Amino acid sequence: MIEEMESQPGRRSSDDLRQILAPVLGDIARVDEMLRSVVTLDIPLLRGAVDAVISAGGKRLRPAILLLVAKFHKYDLDRLVPLAAAIELLHTASLIHDDTIDNALIRRGLPTLNSVIDEGTTVLVGDFLFAKSAVLSTMGGIQRATRIFAESLVTICEGEIEQHFSVHHLANSVERYNRRIYSKTAVLFAAAGEIGAVLSEAPEDDVQRLRHYGKQLGMAFQIVDDILDMASTEEQLGKPIGGDLRQGIVTLPTMIYLDDASVEGAEVIRQVIEGEDHSDQQVGRAVECIAASGALRKAQAEAERLVAEARASLTSFPDIPARRSLLDLADFVVRRDY
């Protein structure tokens, strides 16, 4: 099932990512400090649970992009750190809501917030983090940056609503898929690129190039996530594989597979997506069908095409360490193993 992806050379790890982000690692630590300082709750149970969610971290890619793109122009940490923290906190809040909607019990190998407290309280905590992120977004002192942040939040909510009403429907177009993954993931990558450029007082052409870099990188990131959902082990992924199929979500690998699937293979997918049979055995059969078909390789090729476009957006920028980090980050996104 997973040999197709595991056999590819040059998969990238968390150690690689630390090296890539070296020019801003110290400043990302400042972002983490701000996150902990603003997320304060008087209820010990909630305070501990939320601190665990934030400390679990993740890759911190969005704040890293915001900081790296600002290196091309005026690098003012007093402006940058609050917005980098706002972007990360918005991402965290959206994950909490996602896990609640999906009834997910594990993320990154750790219990989700909704697995330790009731659903209503989890939603309220997510709302609290959304509100805190909104406050942080005003601290850069530039109205345009705050507006970009607010528009991104609207887009995320619209995407969640659209996904909610599209689950368990086999007939999904690539256009709809692209719109969904932009709303779900790429919008915050794009916002990080654009906000970092705006806060550094970059000229408008550079702002648009850096936004495009973030957007294409984010699109590729989500496609690779959808590939890893079928090509990783549960230990690597930090949650059960085939999660999208179990939830009735049609992703790019599934769409590619269905284009040329046999009647029998298409029926296996239909039963899982439409919720007729989403047992572990049937989900495993569906993942096996997709992985054996070459659909993962084709989806990987699309991610690499998007990353090539992201890299091309940086052509006119000076060859400084931050630019090399952004180029290496693009490679990491399509070659990562987690």
pLDDT for the residue numbered 5: 45
Residue 101: closest CA among 163, 178, 156: 163
Task: Please tell me the distance from the alpha carbon of residue 246 to that of residue 280, in angstroms, as a whole number.
Answer: 9
Find tokens 């939040």 and name the residue: 153
Task: Please tell me the distance from the alpha carbon of residue 315 to that of residue 250, in angstroms, as a whole number.
Answer: 35
Please write the tens of the pLDDT for every residue from 295-305. Answer: 999 999 999 99
Tell me the whole-structure pTM to 2 decimals. 0.91
Distance of CA 50 to the CA centre of its chain: 19
Cross-strand partners of 110: 107
Average pLDDT over residues 112-117: 75
Query: Do the Cβ atoms of 104 and 112 come closer than 8 Å?
Result: yes
Find tokens 């972007």 and name the residue: 87
Please write the tens of the pLDDT for every residue from 136-187. Answer: 999 999 999 999 999 999 999 998 888 888 888 887 789 999 999 999 999 9
Please write the tens of the pLDDT for every residue from 12-69. Answer: 677 899 999 999 999 999 999 999 888 887 787 777 777 777 776 678 999 999 999 9
Whether the predicted pLDDT of 231 surpasses 90: no
Angle between helices 263-273 and 280-292 (to 10 degrees): 130
The listed CATH number (1.10.600.10, 2.40.50.100, 1.10.150.120, 1.10.10.10) that belongs to domain 14-327: 1.10.600.10
Task: Please tell me the distance from the alpha carbon of residue 172 to that of residue 320, in angstroms, as a whole number.
Answer: 42
Confidence category of residue 1, pLDDT binned at 50, 70, 90: very low
For 167, phi then psi, to 5°, come to -70, 150
pLDDT for the residue numbered 107: 65
SS3 303: helix
Taken as a whole, the chain contains a residue count of: 338
Average pLDDT over residues 57-84: 95
pLDDT for the residue numbered 13: 73
